[in-house]
């Protein structure tokens, strides 16, 4: 059964281009968000998809895989499924995000089973949900969420990759892992298995913090010192996202590059 959802004015969804800063007010904190995506320097198509829904406090990045049509379909379907589940829940919470990820996983698997052209498709998925008293984050795969607290950059999410979950535990050194033949292998993704492992996190929303969610076309190419310097700069969110994407392209841009940056500051009294 196909489900069509009428999108409210508070919702903004964009796949491959940048858009004006989106603003949402949570109690006395004002959240600003900006997203941008670029195919990079090697790939002709963009399988990344990002979504901004400031009125719901929801922000998503998905990195599709499985070929041009399949990867693009998987990332879009997964992100919009999460939006739908959150939208249809009166008071969404951490459990809602888990249910949304499970539903996204089911729909991507069902779509792949119903169409041979989509066979083998999947996607990473990272979502941020602002709940006023806390910011919830859920992730599957290796798209990441970072927190910049005004002075330091912190990795929030944990990659579900062979490198992180197997290679490092075997004691393989970091330099070897950078060129290891298994370095691009995911241990979990949306649409790959009915047994989904979702990592969840919670962040206290305080003025001045920034949360960056991005695909591995950014974090896998640009070093964390460069990311930290970009976020620490006084530039606006658009300029910071543009700087990060430019840095990935300068480094070769071997993959699609997507960045969504969310910043909090004191709102009106």
Longest dimension (CA), the chain: 55
Residues 122 and 71: their CA atoms lie apart, in Å, by: 7
Please list, in sequence order, all residues whose beta carbon lies within 8 angstroms of the beta carbon of residue 223, skipping any fewer than 6 positions away.
none
What six digits make up the tokens of 94?
């951490």
* pLDDT band at residue 196 under the 50/70/90 scheme: very high
Termini Cα distance of the chain? 46
* pLDDT band at residue 17 under the 50/70/90 scheme: very low
Helices 237-250 and 224-232 cross at an angle (nearest 10°) of 160
* pLDDT band at residue 189 under the 50/70/90 scheme: very high
Give kind and range of the element (H or E) at residue 25. Answer: strand 22-26
Q: How much is the pLDDT for 21?
A: 54
Q: Tokens 């970072």 appear where?
A: 146
Between 22 and 11, whose confidence is greater?
Answer: 22
Q: How much is the pLDDT for 265?
A: 80
Q: How much is the pLDDT for 4?
A: 30
Q: What is the DSSP string of 41-78?
A: TT-SS--EEEEEETTTTEEEEEEEESSHHHHHHHHHHH
The answer to whether the beta carbons of residues 70 and 112 sit under 8 Å apart is: yes
pLDDT tens digits along 237-247: 999 999 999 99
Q: What is the DSSP string of 78-115?
A: HHHHHHHHHHT-SS--HHHHHHHHHHHHHHHHHHHHH-
- Among candidate residues 195, 186, 205, 191, the one with its CA nearest the CA of residue 128: 205
Q: How much is the pLDDT for 60?
A: 98
> Domains in the chain, ordered, with CATH?
12-266 (3.60.40.10)
Please list, in sequence order, all residues whose beta carbon lies within 8 angstroms of the beta carbon of residue 220, skipping any fewer than 6 positions away.
142, 255
Q: How much is the pLDDT for 165?
A: 67
* pTM of the shown model: 0.88
What number is the average pLDDT over the span 160-179?
76
């Amino acid at each position: 059964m196909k489900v069509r959802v009428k999108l409210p004015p508070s919702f903004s969804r964009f796949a491959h281009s940048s858009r004006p800063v989106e603003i949402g007010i949570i109690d006395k904190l004002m959240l600003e968000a900006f997203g941008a995506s670029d195919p990079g320097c090697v790939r002709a198509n963009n399988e990344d998809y990002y979504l901004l829904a400031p009125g719901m406090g929801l922000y998503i990045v998905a990195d599709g895989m499985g070929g041009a049509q399949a990867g693009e379909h998987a990332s879009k379907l997964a992100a919009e499924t999460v939006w739908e589940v959150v939208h249809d829940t009166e008071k969404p919470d951490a459990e809602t995000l888990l249910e949304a990820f499970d539903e996204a996983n089911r729909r991507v698997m069902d779509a792949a089973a119903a169409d041979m052209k989509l066979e083998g498709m999947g996607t990473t998925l990272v979502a941020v949900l602002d709940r006023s008293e806390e910011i919830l984050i859920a992730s599957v795969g290796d798209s990441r969420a970072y927190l910049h607290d005004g002075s330091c950059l912190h990795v929030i999410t944990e990659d579900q990759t062979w490198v992180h979950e197997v290679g490092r535990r075997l004691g393989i050194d970091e330099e070897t892992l950078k060129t290891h033949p298994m370095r691009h292998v995911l241990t979990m993704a949306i649409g790959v298995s009915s047994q989904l492992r979702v990592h969840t996190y919670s962040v206290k929303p305080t003025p001045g913090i920034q949360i960056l969610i991005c695909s591995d076309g950014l974090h896998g190419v640009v070093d964390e010192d460069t990311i930290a310097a970009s976020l620490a700069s006084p530039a606006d969110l658009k300029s910071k996202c543009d700087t990060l994407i430019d840095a990935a392209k300068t480094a070769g841009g071997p993959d699609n590059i997507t960045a969504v940056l969310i910043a909090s500051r004191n709102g009106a009294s």
